[in-house]
Amino acid sequence: MTDQQLVLNAVKQPDVSRKQNALQKLFALWFDAFVYNQIWEDPRVDIEALELERRSRILTISSGGCNALNYLLESPLSVTAVDLNRHHVYLLDLKIAAAKFLPDHSSFFNFFGRGLHKLNFHNYQRYIRPNLDEDVRKFWDSASFFGKLRGGSRINYFTKGGLYEHSRNGYFLRFFHRLAPLLGSRPEKVLAAETREQQVELFEKHIAPFFDSALIKFIGKLPVTMFGLGIPPQQYDELKKEISEGETLIDVYRDRVRKLAVDFPIDENYFAWQAFARKYDTEKRKALPDYLKETNFSLLRENIERITTGIGSVTEVIKNSPESSFDRFVFLDAQDWMNAEMIAELWTAIAARGGEGSRIIFRTAGASSPLEQNLPAELLRKFEYKAELSRELFVNDRASIYGGFHLYVLK
């Protein structure tokens, strides 16, 4: 089954309008590509919610693979990362091989911290490529349709333009960054702030005007615009349902971007650096995911054998694994893609196969958890919703792009 068909199966909703059906197919086509060059969920919040320990057996959706590697720094027993999108899995496979076989942290950082360096291709050929599985090697040695027109294989992401200039999400951010100066906005200026007061001041001066533009107000209403953030049509619809009276989607976007720019120290919030500059802080190296920090490299390499990857759905992985194979589950925002039947199937599998005291986390575009309405009462009673802790952790999520964070525990 192709990536596109896997994604379509995941997002397809029954009994929808012709327009919605067309949007779902368009999203599946859009998602059949390299969508995320980094993950947009805060691992610091995840780790606190999951209460990771040395016996923890984690199942997570991969996305860009950053958080799967961050979890390894807690030395769990195992991490299993799966994704419907092979592009994401193969990016994580590349990171795993790089952590194992590159000679030092500097060469690893040039690949995934800088995302761009003249030695990356040489180091790929010498250290990484010989240690990749055949499918992964063919993927990085080959090119997408547009890559063929430019005459370069995917591994050239790391030598031409840089990793963080590529992917659907990267192109989305690049488009709006080029548009921003024309609308009186310079988002990168906020990164120079040294205090929270300066962050507020620079946000109001250099970012807020972006959302006042008539063009942005028009673009922001289009469902296809959200494809650039990996948001399928039904997730977009759920977001609209939770908008307060007198509020617009643009107000929601503004509030979330403001939180990203203002609520956390900008010198260490790597999500803000990616959003506002399309890179990490490669000079001071504070605004970095933990797996990229030099002080953590030896531990990452020590634990790298504990991670495995696969292409497919978390539901099928759980159903086809022995009981208690996993006791920590990370579903990102996948349930915003699902209908009630799919959600019930997933949580039925967790109830049947999850280890004692399993902890399950996920995020949503809106504020509310979909489980309360979509799970049969008997199934829902098997889980405890940590509502207060979920709200506290949501406030602390540095990525700031979601409306809700949710933690459930298998009773």
In a domain, 314, yes or no: yes
Which tens digit of pLDDT belongs to each residue from 184-236? 999 999 999 999 999 999 999 999 999 999 988 888 777 666 655 656 666 66
In a domain, 238, yes or no: no
Mean of pLDDT values over 278-303: 97
Domain count across the chain? 1
- The Cα-based distances of 86 to 83, 133, 182, 184 in angstroms read 7, 13, 36, 39
State the Cα–Cα distance between residues 139 and 156, nearest whole angstrom: 12
Which tens digit of pLDDT belongs to each residue from 119-166? 999 999 999 999 999 999 999 999 876 666 565 899 999 998 899 998
In a domain, 210, yes or no: no
The mean of the pLDDT values for the chain is 89
In a domain, 22, yes or no: yes
State the Cα–Cα distance between residues 170 and 177, nearest whole angstrom: 10
Residue 15 token pair: 């009994």
Which tens digit of pLDDT belongs to each residue from 348-379? 999 999 998 999 999 998 889 999 999 999 99
More confident residue, 280 or 9: 280
Report the pLDDT value the prediction gives residue 11, as an integer from 0 to 100: 44
Mean of pLDDT values over 3-29: 52
Mean of pLDDT values over 238-257: 80
Q: Are 72 and 307 in contact (CB under 8 A)?
A: yes
Q: Are 337 and 11 in contact (CB under 8 A)?
A: yes
Please spell the DSSP secondary structure of 173-201, one letter per residue. Answer: HHHHHHHGGGGT--GGGGGG--SHHHHHH
- List the CATH number of the domain containing 325: 3.40.50
In a domain, 253, yes or no: no
In a domain, 340, yes or no: yes
- The Cα-based distances of 342 to 82, 285, 367, 410 in angstroms read 17, 41, 20, 19
Report the pLDDT value the prediction gives residue 80, as an integer from 0 to 100: 98
Does the model's pTM come out above 0.85? yes
Range of the domain at 374: 3-35+291-410
In a domain, 55, yes or no: no
State the Cα–Cα distance between residues 386 and 51, nearest whole angstrom: 13
Report the pLDDT value the prediction gives residue 192, as an integer from 0 to 100: 96
- Residue 405 pairs in a beta bridge with 363
pLDDT at position 311 over 60? yes
